[in-house]
Amino acid sequence: MADSNFIDYVKIHCRSGKGGAGSRHFYRAKYVPKGGPDGGDGGRGGHIILRGDAQMWTLLPLKYNRHLFAGNGQSGSGGRSSGKDGDDVIVNVPCGTVVFDAETGEFLAEVNRPGEEIKLIRGGRGGLGNWHFKSATNRTPRYAQPGEPAIERTVILELKLLADVGLVGFPNAGKSTLLSSISAARPKIADYPFTTMEPQLGIVSYRDNRSFVMADIPGIIEGASEGKGLGLRFLRHIERNAVLLFMVPADADDVTKQYEILLRELERFNPQLMDKHRILAVSKSDMLDDELREEIEATLPKDIPHVFISAVTGQGLDKLKDVLWEAVTDVDNQIATPSITHRPLDGQHRVREEDEFIFDTPDIPDEEDYEEDWDETDGDGGWDDDDFDPNFDPDKFVPDAED
C-alpha cells in the first residue's frame, strides 16, 4: 500500500490567519490642527477552504503537504485605510471527502459536489480602528481593537468513494471479474486472495443509454471490523453506496453462512449499513447443474433478492443489471446528503500510521515582532511612554561586553 497512488486517509495540520490590528491614528495636516481619529480597520486572516474537484480521485497531494497555513491580515493605517486581508488557502479534494477532528474524532464537514466549498477553519477578524470609537463625549479615542488570533487544528480527511452499487464479498468471490465483464474497468484478476488492493470504480451501461457506477471493494474476511485483513481499511467506501451487492461463490461450503458473516462484519463496522438495500449474487454459477442450483436456492435468505450469475459465461448478468437498476432508481434508496450520518472516528476506525504521525510545526514569527512600537496617537509621532524605563539614567549606562 505504501507504493500505491490511491490515498484515502490522511492527517494534516491547519492554521488560519490571524486578523490585523486596528490603527490608532489621528489626522494631522497644515491648517487642520484637530483632524480627529482616522485609524483604519485591520484585515481579516485567511481561511482554510476545502473545494470539491471532480478530476481528483485520491488524497495523494495532501500526503506530501501536511501543513496548511493561511496568511495573516495586515494592520490598518491612517486615512481610514483598512489592512489587506490574509491569503486564503484553498485545497482541492475529491468529491466524497469527509473531515474529522484528529483529537476527538468528531465529524466536522464533508464535500460531495464538484465546486462545493467548505470553510474548514475561519480566519481571525480584523480589529476596528479608533475611527469607530469617536463620539461627542470621546473625541480622541486613543485605542483600537486587536485582531482575532489564528485557529490551529489537526484534522483527518477520509475519502469515501461515491458509487451507486458496492460489491461486498470474500476474496476470490469474483467481484473483479464481474466488474470487468459489465464495465470498461480493468481491475487486476488472479487466482489468489487479496488481488484487489484498492477500490476500483466502473461505469455499468444499461438500456437506453443509461448507466450507474459500481465499486469493487477489496475482499472482506471474518474479523475485518476488528482490523483483520484489508477490509477495515476500505469498508468506509461502502458507506457511500446506495445499494450493496453481496457476492458469494457457488462452490462455497455454505452460501447463507458466508452471507451472514459478511453482513455481521458490516454491522459491527457501522450499524447504519443495515439500512441499505441489499442484493445477493451467487457467482460462478456455471459450475452448477439444475439440481445443485435448486438445492442452494432453497437455503438462501428470503428477505433479499438473489441472482445466479457467471461473469465468465455471461449467465444472469442481464437479470442482475435489471435488479440493480431497479434498486438504484428506487426512491427509498436515493441518498440525501443531510440524512447521511457518519460514524465517529474512534480508535477502531483509525489508520495507525496516520494517527501516530507527528507534525513539526515551528512557530512562525509575526510581522509585529519586527515592527517598531511607534505611537501613532501623537500628532508628531513618538515612542509610547510604556516603552521607556522611568528609572533609566543614560549617564550611568554601561554597555555590555558584546556591545
Q: Which amino acid appears at position 204 of this protein?
A: V
- Rg over alpha carbons for the chain, rounded to the nearest Å, is 31
Beta bridge partners, 280, equal 246, 306
pLDDT score for 16: 95
Cα separation, 342 vs 100, whole angstroms: 10
pLDDT tens, per residue, the chain with 403 residues: 344 577 888 999 999 999 999 999 999 888 887 888 999 999 999 999 999 998 888 898 998 889 999 999 999 998 899 999 999 999 999 988 999 998 888 889 899 889 999 999 999 999 999 999 999 889 889 999 999 999 999 999 988 877 788 888 888 777 888 888 888 766 555 554 555 556 777 888 888 888 888 888 776 766 555 555 555 566 777 777 888 899 888 888 888 888 888 888 888 877 888 888 899 988 888 888 888 888 888 888 888 889 998 888 888 889 989 999 988 888 776 654 434 567 677 666 677 777 777 777 655 555 444 343 334 434 333 333 333 344 444 444 344 444 3
Question: In the prediction, which pLDDT does 388 show?
Answer: 36
Predicted pLDDT at 228: 54
Edge-first strand order for the sheet with 107-111 is: 67-69, 9-15, 152-159, 97-101, 107-111
- How much is the pLDDT for 126? 94
Question: Alpha-carbon distance 185 to 248, whole Å?
Answer: 21
**What sign for the dihedral angle of Cα 106, 245, 264, 189?**
negative
Tell which residue, 128, 108, 102, has the closest CA to residue 44: 128
pLDDT score, position 43 = 95
Q: Which residue has the cell 476470490?
A: 172
pTM: 0.70
Sign of torsion, CA 126 130 135 141? positive
Q: What is the dihedral of CA 152, 156, 157, 161, to 10 degrees?
A: -160
Q: Which residues contact residue 319 at a Cβ distance below 8 angstroms, ignoring those fewer than 6 apart?
A: 307, 309
